Amino acid sequence: MSKTLVEKIWDAHVVKSEEGFPDILYIDTHLIHEVTSPQAFDGLRKRGLPVFRPQQTVATADHNVPTVDQHLPIREELSRFQVDMLTKNCAEFGVELYGLGHPFQGIVHVIGPELGITLPGKTMVCGDSHTSTHGAFGAIAFGIGTSQVEQVLATQCLLQQKPKTMKIEVNGTLNTGVRAKDIILYIISKISAAGGTGYFIEYAGTAIESLSMEARMTICNMSIEMGARGGLIAPDQITFDYVKGRKFAPQGEEWDKALAYWQTLYSDADAKFDRVLTFDAADIEPMITYGTNPGMGMGITQHIPATGSQPETEQFSYQKALDYMGFKDDEPLIGKPVDYVFIGSCTNSRIEDLREVAEFVYGRQKAESVEVWIVPGSKQVEKQAIEEGLDKVFEAAGFRLREPGCSACLGMNEDKIPAGKYCVSTSNRNFEGRQGPDARTLLVSPLTAAAAAITGQITDVRTLLNQPELA
Amino acid sequence: MKKFEKLTSTVVPLPIENIDTDQIIPARFLKATTREGFGNNLFRDWRFDAQNEPKPDFVLNNSIYTGKILVAGKNFGCGSSREHAAWAIQDYGFDAVVSSFFADIFKGNALNNGLLPVQVSDAFLHAIFESVSKDPNTAIVIDLENQTISLPVAELSENFEINAYKKACLINGYDDIDFILNQKELIEKFENERANA
């Protein structure tokens, strides 16, 4: 029988399937971090259980960590306590921890791929909704709550309903200045912040196939922003080339065996999806959000849709969002002053993102009125950026490369955007207060963020792309 | 896990769409390492101003609205996977959340804690908001056994969906781990078969 990619991977991991019950799904790899794991370890203690497969569990500290002076103790007491608790739990239960100071430490969704832990065909979970990122490799990867973290620690399995499947095809060639982030913000703006709920999404089409692995991770990362638990892309030569030689990737004979299996991981030609959507890459321009959910996005040259154009029952919430942002109906965003620029998060903090920003700001100066934070996704990304001299380019432009962590994506650690300030951000959520109480977030690509850092205002980056190699 | 029994209660109305888990419990309040106490920070930034004074126009600060059922606009619980959102709602004193659409992860987290998410039609949701705005003492009845929710004042009732297994968990107060732990032999067999494939 023909199957979608999701079905192939899912079916290969079903331990038990029984009418009237969710499937028992085997989980190959469990990633954990300090915020959503303490209550799960506590649950194990209360039940007197060990971690069932500690060698399939990897931990890092990312959400609570400061992004300057990481060699010093964490100043904020509760954050320090939570990070220390992770260290204690990992030691007690025998889980590998890449904690602060470890050369592999970083955002959980950045380190998995770069270490070769993330592989095609795997099932992966983490107590974090952006676990969908790992789907870029052709894996079933999704975020779970803490009770489920405890389930996986205890049994290496989850009780899960098989999801519906959706295919989103993007075909054609991307326009100048348009990046993976713009593709996904465009898709979310078309299908809304709830349009993917209940589905696993397979991204396909020529525009997706042409993307690098890091760009594919940006796409899959934001699947959850339209409500989809997971999003994935069929592995291909670009995937295999990226994975080969990474620290924990299979080697020698194991590699050949794995590769032979990975090459079977695609949706069969006549496989049935529950829903199929098709977009044309030519319709996508650099994107920006103007509201308080990621579905409220538009092309950067467009004007904010009028409240009256929204369905009547949604107008109250829509107006509330515009009031929060300090925006009005029909306004353009181009030229609005910006207070902060944040380049980082599990969406856009990889080496290609930093290279792109460095290339753009090279020979330019940051606007005086703007505070710019560039936060690498991991120690390895940081190291590579320094080896390539990107830190020097950033310094010359007036900004500084910080140390790895989730940083200003979620207003949990020391990096918060002050009340009322506008932050042009490469992160994934523009919810009220997401980057700090009353902070106002505008989601964009790293390239558009770099343009705002230079001009101090919301800018169509295409007007500054005069060197042909940047196009 | 707490057992869910038939519930008749007044409601707290929150007629806003796309309420994300960062509103339910902002990230800066996720630093606790136990499950208790999150209710104090439920809807923190809608409930309190920067000086920690209650905002009088927010519904949880309006004593005429009380009850064990939170009623909210569609796509409730979108965003982060933080189970703290379900813990906060429950810790505050709610036993059920009613909306016309729930985000997946939130729904799962709620069910895993004995907090019942009840998905109703847009029309039914609208009728609740309308009845409650006329009379804050309006009660609704949630009958899990029969999978019905009713609004007696408007003589309205509808059925709601819930997975049969999760329903049994809620009614009996048992959780997924108990269930999977009983399947350990199967899990080990699965692992062995894969290793030898």
Of A159, A410, A437, the CB nearest to B50: A437
Residues A265 and A376 both lie in one domain: no
Q: Are B33 and A80 in contact (CB under 8 A)?
A: no
End-to-end C-alpha distance for chain A, whole angstroms: 44
- Asked whether residue A458 falls in the same domain as residue A358, the answer is yes
Q: In this structure, are residues B141 and B149 in contact, taking their beta carbons and an 8 Å threshold?
A: yes
CA distance B156 to A357: 57
Domain boundary among A243, A275, A307: A275
Q: Which of B23, B176, B184 sits opposite A159 (nearest CB)?
A: B176
- The C-alpha atoms of residue B76 and residue B96 are separated, in whole angstroms, by 13
Does a structural domain hold residue A187?
yes
CA distances from A280 to A169, A173, A209 (A): 8, 8, 14
Chain B CB within 8 Å of residue A239 CB: no
Are B180 and A148 inside 8 Å of each other by CB?
no
Question: Which residues are paired to B102 by β-bridges?
Answer: B76
Angle between helices A446-455 and A351-361 (to 10 degrees): 30
Q: Does A36 touch chain B (CB under 8 A)?
A: yes
| Contact A410/B at CB under 8 A | yes
Kindly state the DSSP code that residue A406 receives in the 8-state scheme.
Answer: S
pLDDT band, very low/low/confident/very high, at B1 (cuts 50, 70, 90): confident
C-alpha angle A275/A143/B33, rounded to 5°? 155
Pairing label, strands A422-425, A440-443: parallel
**Cα A134 to chain center, whole Å?**
9
> Are residues A323 and A447 located together in one domain of the fold?
yes
* Chain B residues in contact with A18 (beta carbon < 8 A): none
Chain Cα centroid distance, residue A176: 23
Other CB atoms within 10 A of residue B37 CB: 12
Structural domain range at position A451: 289-463
B83/A26 touch (CB, cutoff 8 Å), yes or no? no
Asked if A147 and B190 come within 8 Å (Cβ–Cβ), the reply is no
- Residue A185 to residues A195, A287, A289, B80: CA-CA distances in angstroms? 13, 7, 8, 17
The overall average pLDDT reported for chain B is: 96
A50 domain-assigned = yes
What is the rounded distance in angstroms from the CA atom of residue B160 to the CA atom of residue A112?
Answer: 39
Spatial separation of the C-alpha atoms in residues B116 and B170, rounded to whole Å: 8
Q: What is the CATH number of the domain that holds A82?
A: 3.30.499.10
- Residue at A401 is within a domain: yes
- Domain boundary (A240, A275, A310) is at A275
Q: Would A282 be classed as within a structural domain?
A: no
**Most B CBs within 10 Å, among A131, A148, A189, to test the B interface:** A148
Q: Are B95 and B4 in contact (CB under 8 A)?
A: yes
Q: How far is B109 from chain A (nearest CA, A)?
A: 6
The reported pLDDT for the residue numbered A467 is 54
Give A20's contacts (C-beta < 8 A, 6+ positions apart). B164, B165
In one letter, which amino acid is A185?
A: L
CB B95 within 8 A of CB B122: no
Q: What is the DSSP letter of A23?
A: E
A445 and A351 within one domain: yes
Rg (CA), chain B: 19
Token pair, residue B170, equals 């809620």
Give the helix/strand (H/E) hosting A44: helix A38-47
Q: Which ipTM value was assigned to this complex?
A: 0.95
* Residue of A19, A42, A129 to mutate, interface with B, max B Cβ within 10 Å: A129
Q: Do A79 and B31 touch (CB under 8 A)?
A: yes
Does residue A283 sit within a domain? no
pLDDT, position A470: 45
* Phi/psi at A128 (5° precision): -165, 130
CB contact under 8 A, B33 and A81: yes
Asked if residue A284 is part of any domain, the answer here is: no
- Contact: B180, A81; criterion CB under 8 Å: no
Is there a single domain that holds both residue A330 and residue A248? no
Do A154 and A52 touch, CB atoms closer than 8 A?
yes
Nearest to B113 among A16, A147, A293 (CB): A147
A317, A345, A421, best to mutate vs chain B, most B CBs in 10 Å: A317
Residue A203 sits in the same domain as residue A316: no
Contact A193 B75 (CB under 8 A): yes
Chain A CA closest to residue B107: A145
Of A228, A251, A275, the residue that ends a domain is: A275
- How much is the average pLDDT of B9-21? 97
Three-class SS state of A295: coil
| CA-wise closest residue to A279 among A416, A172, A374, A405 | A172
Residue among B26, B101, B181 minimizing CB distance to A411: B26
Give the one of A63, A151, A433 whose C-beta lies nearest to B176's C-beta. Answer: A151
Q: Are residues A77 and A218 in the same domain?
A: yes
- CA A102/CA A379 separation, integer angstroms: 8
How long a stretch of residues is chain A?
Answer: 471
Mutating which of B1, B18, B187 best tests the A interface, going by the most A Cβ atoms within 10 A?
A: B18
Is the same domain home to A374 and A310? Answer: yes
Q: Which residue from A39, A79, A435 is spatially nearest to B31, judged by alpha carbons? A: A79
Give whole-number Cα distances, A217 to A208, A352, B120, in Å: 11, 12, 35
Residue A55: inside a domain: yes
Q: How many CB pairs under 8 A join A and B?
A: 176
Q: How far is B70 from chain A (nearest CA, A)?
A: 17
A96 CB near a chain B CB, below 8 Å? Answer: no
How distant is the Cα of B7 from the closest Cα of chain A, in angstroms?
Answer: 24
Q: Looking at the structure, tell me whether residues A265 and A310 fall in a common domain.
A: no
Per-position DSSP letters for A152-213, written without gaps between them: HHHHSEEEEPPPEEEEEEEES-PPTT--HHHHHHHHHHHH-TTTTTTEEEEEESHHHHTS-H
- Measured between its terminal Cα atoms, the distance across chain B in Å is 39
Cα B68 from Cα B141, distance rounded (Å): 11
Does residue A34 form part of some domain? yes
Nearest Cα to Cα of residue B20 among B66, B82, B64: B82
SS (H, E, C) chain B: CCCCCCEEEEEEEECCCCCEHHHHCCHHHCCCCCCCCHHHHCCHHHHECCCCCECCCCHHHCCCCCCCEEEECCCECECCCCCHHHHHHHHHCCCEEEECCECHHHHHHHHCCCCEEEECCHHHHHHHHHHHHHCCCCEEEEECCCCEEEEHHHCEEEECCCCHHHHHHHHHCCCHHHHHHCCHHHHHHHHHHHHCC
Helix, strand, coil percentages for chain A (3-state, nearest 5): 40, 20, 45
Closest C-alpha to A9, from A132, A123, A118, A143: A123
CB B191 to CB A22 under 8 A? no
Determine whether the interchain pair A42/B16 forms a contact, defined as Cβ–Cβ distance below 8 Å.
no
CA distance B113 to B1: 6
| Chain A residues with CB-CB distance to B108 below 8 A | 144-145, 148
How many folded domains does chain A comprise? 2
Predicted confidence at residue A147, as pLDDT, reads: 97
Residue A323 sits in the same domain as residue A449: yes
Residues A261 and A321 in one domain: no
Q: Tell me: do A300 and A270 sit in the same domain.
A: no
Contact call for A42 and B45, based on CB within 8 A: no
The residue type of B30 is L
- Whether A38 contacts A89, CB under 8 Å: yes
For residue A78, give the nearest of B31, B80, B108 by CB distance: B31
- The per-residue pLDDT string of chain A (471 residues; one tens digit each, 9 = 90 and over) reads 899 999 999 999 999 999 889 999 999 999 999 999 999 999 999 999 999 999 999 999 999 999 999 999 999 999 999 999 999 999 999 999 999 999 999 999 999 999 999 999 999 999 999 999 999 999 999 999 999 999 999 999 999 999 999 999 999 999 999 999 999 999 999 999 999 999 999 999 999 999 999 999 999 999 999 999 999 999 999 999 999 999 999 999 999 999 999 999 999 999 999 999 999 999 999 999 999 999 999 999 999 999 999 999 899 999 999 999 999 999 999 999 999 999 999 999 999 999 999 999 999 999 999 999 999 999 999 999 999 999 999 999 999 899 999 999 999 999 999 999 999 999 999 999 999 999 999 999 999 999 999 999 999 999 999 654 444
Q: Does A21 touch chain B (CB under 8 A)?
A: yes
- Chain A residues with CB under 8 Å of B73 CB are 317
